[in-house]
Amino acid sequence: MTSTPQTDVVGSPQHLAAEDPTWWRQAAVYQIYPRSFADANGDGIGDLQGIISRVPYLSGLGIDAVWLSPFYPSALADGGYDVADYRDVDPRIGTLEEFDQMVAALHAEGIKVVVDIVPNHSSDDHVWFRQALAAGPGSPERERYIFRDGAGDDGSEPPTDWTSIFGGPAWTRVTEPDGTPGQWYLHLFAPEQPDFNWANPEVRADFLKTLRFWSDRGVDGFRIDVAHALTKDLTDPLPSEAELDAIPRGEGQHPIWDRDEVHEIYAEWRKVFDSYDPPRTAVAEAWVERHRRPRYASAEGLGQAFEFDLLTQEFDAAAFKEVVVDSLTLAAESGSSSTWVLSNHDVVRHATRYGLPPLADQVGSTEQDQKQGAAWVLAGGPEDQLDREQGERRARAATLFELALPGSAYLYQGEELGLHEVGDIADDARQDPTFFRNPGVDKGRDGCRVPLPWARTGSSFGFGPGPAHLPQPQWFAEYSVEAQDGQQDSTLELYRSALRLRRQLQTAETLEWVDTGRDDVLAFRRPGGWVTVTNFGTAETPLPAGEVLLASAPLRDGQLPGEATAWIRQ
Ligand code: NOJ
Ligand code: CA
């Protein structure tokens, strides 16, 4: 396995020297969902000035980088993942000048900046899509997207019966400039997110321009949305949905997903990344078969890929160990470092997932393996099914386990507060298209996107001087930063201690499993003499000899209680 040199200037902003091209390999990256992080002007929507005002908080937290979900102009049909202009800031969030100020403020604290690139689809508000509609069938403008004539005698049927990821048909019919019903365009996600035609060199060139635009502004890296869907083989006759589903996804020849030639795009992007010093980094969001992931993460490609398998597991020793062993093997294959994720803006927060009944007992969710907690959200978030304390206890243990692993950890805003999913958002307050497009089947992802509580009181718990764009429950008060700041047993202080220690402890990207004699207790040793013990069971367990550096729960007579993790220096 590849190793990284030990940092000798620990705990100070300089620990990530600008010239260190490997900064990303074991970075703790904090995901900011800009509209819900901090609101400076009181309009209820988080903004760049809000982020700037919280740079001291981010610095004190001890993270190495922030990743910003889209802050670009957007009609918000999909929380900003419907981008109307890739090279600007949504006026409700700020300006380019404020973006530069934010980057400077973060860099001054040694925090790197990663931005989200959404290349599979734009917003239907994007100037190119508007031009495509105005220019009509057969025009070069339409060639930037995926337009087809409809099926049936009069073209009134969609070209295929494909369903979009968000539910409903994957094709939408347009009205031609002369007012007649016209062609159909493909959208793998919402109708407001038309898919680009990546066979068109203009599309390719435009994204290279976007990558340079942000790199020139000092952005250190990129998170690539739906990285496995860009290239498509849509030669006629198009397959039906049933035929499409029958085509294997792991061989690089599926018409839509994970085609081999997508890597030609990333090879081009790599040249752009490497033309900067230090090279810009990228992490792929690629929901592909395991054996296909290393290529996205290779040094010739994006360089790193998300590992989501940990977040789909129950709190279980064998399941966690299997994922870690597998992921480290895959990372070694690609030459990249592994990535760990427990929460993000698309899934039920992990404090809540771990507080729900076992998956097998959760009814109503069709894709249970990827949608833990979805049934609970669908049921309106009943409190009597959620054991908050168990969820938080396990979440703290899982987080200390995660932060001790070799590789980078991607943290989602609010998880450092032990924040739970908001399960009872009223239907008329919801925003996520997955709710509107799947009535009665999916309530969507708004519950993990509720604006953060910074204070116990105030119109939006300190999120801003005004309201919050999604309703915050009363229980946010006790999870607020104000309520936890300086409280030694709080989740916030645990994250701060863990992140500070992690900087001192991380060395070579290897681990060695230690036999614990118990199926429900995992232990591993990292180079440099520290051991992590996680007790997934409920009975206490003895700890190996050494100095206890940190524990997710108070020890009892020197023993690690159930559902807890400890870091020990030996
Ligand atoms: C993945 C993003 O994480 C999600 O929020 C978004 O809805 C889809 N990609 C479509 O862009
Ligand atoms: Ca605002």
Q: Tens of pLDDT along 519-528? A: 999 999 999 9
Percent of the chain, pLDDT > 90? 92
**Is 76's C-beta closer than 6 angstroms to any atom of ligand 1?**
no
**Is 410's C-beta closer than 6 angstroms to any atom of ligand 1?**
no
Say which residue, 361 or 9, is predicted with more confidence: 361
Tell me how far CA of residue 326 lies from CA of 291, 308, 319, 408, in angstroms: 10, 12, 11, 16
The answer, yes or no, to whether residue 49 has pLDDT greater than 80, is: yes
For 220-273, what is the HEC assignment? CEEEECCCCCCCCCCCCCCCCHHHHHHCCCCCCCCCCCCCCCHHHHHHHHHHHH
Average of per-residue pLDDT across 204-224: 98
Span between the terminal Cα atoms of the chain, in Å: 23
- Cα 45 to middle of ligand 2, angstroms: 4
Bridge partner residues of 282 (DSSP)? 222
Using CA atoms, how far apart are residues 340 and 227, in angstroms rounded to an integer? 18
- What sign does the dihedral 162-164-168-173 (CA atoms) show? negative
Class of residue 190 by CB neighbours under 10 A (exposed 0-12, middle 13-18, buried 19+): buried
**204 close to 143: Cβ distance less than 8 angstroms:** no
The token pair at 79 is 């929380």
Q: What is the largest CA-CA distance in the chain?
A: 80
Rg (CA), the chain: 24
480-489 pLDDT, tens digit each:
999 999 999 9
Range with the lowest mean pLDDT among 14-23, 66-75, 120-129, 315-324?
A: 14-23
The answer, yes or no, to whether residue 364 has pLDDT greater than 70, is: no
The answer, yes or no, to whether residue 175 has pLDDT greater than 50, is: yes
CA-proximal residue: ligand 1, atom 2 (nearest): 225
- Cα 177 to middle of ligand 1, angstroms: 31
The token pair at 555 is 């020890």
Strands (E) located in 131-214: 147-148, 171-175, 181-186
Query: 221-224 and 281-284 as β-strands: parallel, antiparallel, unpaired?
Result: parallel
- Cα 225 to middle of ligand 1, angstroms: 6
- Cα 494 to middle of ligand 2, angstroms: 30
Nearest atom of ligand 1 to the alpha carbon of 189: 10
pLDDT of residue 8: 35
Average of per-residue pLDDT across 103-113: 98
Say which residue, 101 or 5, is predicted with more confidence: 101
**Is 78's C-beta closer than 6 angstroms to any atom of ligand 1?**
yes
Bridge partner residues of 68 (DSSP)? 32, 115
| DSSP letters spanning 360-398 | GG--S-TTTTT-TTHHHHHTT--GGG--HHHHHHHHHHH
The token pair at 485 is 């700041």
Contacts of 453 (CB under 8 A, 6+ apart): 417, 419, 461, 462, 463, 472, 476, 477, 479, 480, 481
Instruction: Calculate the average pLDDT of the chain.
Output: 94
| Residue 269: band (very low, low, confident or very high) from pLDDT cuts 50, 70, 90 | very high
Which of 31, 189, 345, 449 has most ligand 1 atoms within 8 Å of CB, for mutation? 189
CA-proximal residue: ligand 1, atom 11 (nearest): 81
| Residue 442: band (very low, low, confident or very high) from pLDDT cuts 50, 70, 90 | confident
Quickly list H helices, 149-193.
Answer: none
| Residue 13: band (very low, low, confident or very high) from pLDDT cuts 50, 70, 90 | very low
**Is 116's C-beta closer than 6 angstroms to any atom of ligand 1?**
no
**Is 412's C-beta closer than 6 angstroms to any atom of ligand 1?**
no
| Residue 198: band (very low, low, confident or very high) from pLDDT cuts 50, 70, 90 | very high
Question: How many residues in total does the chain contain?
Answer: 570
Contacts of 236 (CB under 8 A, 6+ apart): none
